[in-house]
């Protein structure tokens, strides 16, 4: 079983890295881009035979307590067989 | 219109950051995790009224030529209305 966790800056938090990419794209001639925001994702391979409900709880705890800084970041996750 | 670009190390490239996270999780008592790989994602907001086919081409070029290091990374992308 695999889990995919996405961690991104909250919408209310400035993303200077994304802004820099956006400006660079404009200066390179990519004129159709309005905004860029950057985030991280984690592809987590779980032990085989994990109980789906237990796996979901574990991934949610890992995402909340280890991978995300709750002051400035939000996370989403999904599980895949 | 929005585009989501995922950039990850190629499967054949070692991911020390992911390995460190994996070992940390094990030492913290999360025993169900076999492997972790980390990547980046970019949420790209495009100008309104962009032609979908033109947008797709532009995003693919941006992903290939700006956001990804083709020597060690792969990318995927999807567009959303």
CATH topology for B2-80 is: Mth169; Chain: A , (3.30.1280)
B56 interfacial to chain A (CB closer than 8 Å): no
**pLDDT for B64 beyond 90:** yes
The DSSP code sequence of B10-59 is -TTS--HHHHHHHHHHHHTT-TTEEEEEEEEEEEEEEPTT--HHHHHHHH
pLDDT digits (tens, 9 = 90+) for A14-68: 999 999 999 999 999 998 999 999 999 999 999 988 888 999 999 999 999 999 9
CB spacing of A8 vs B54 below 8 angstroms: no
What is d(CA B57, CA B63) in angstroms, rounded to the nearest whole number? 10
Task: Please report the ipTM that was assigned to this predicted complex.
Answer: 0.89
B49 interfacial to chain A (CB closer than 8 Å): no
Nearest by CB to residue A40, choosing from B30, B31, B38, is B38
């Amino acid at each position: 079983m695999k889990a995919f966790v996405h961690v991104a800056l909250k919408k209310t938090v400035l993303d200077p890295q994304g802004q820099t990419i956006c400006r660079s794209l404009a200066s390179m001639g990519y004129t159709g881009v309005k905004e860029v925001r950057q985030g991280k994702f984690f592809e987590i391979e779980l032990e085989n035979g994990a109980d789906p409900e237990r796996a979901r709880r574990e991934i949610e705890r890992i995402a909340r307590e280890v991978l995300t800084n709750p002051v400035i970041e939000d996370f989403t996750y999904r599980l895949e067989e």
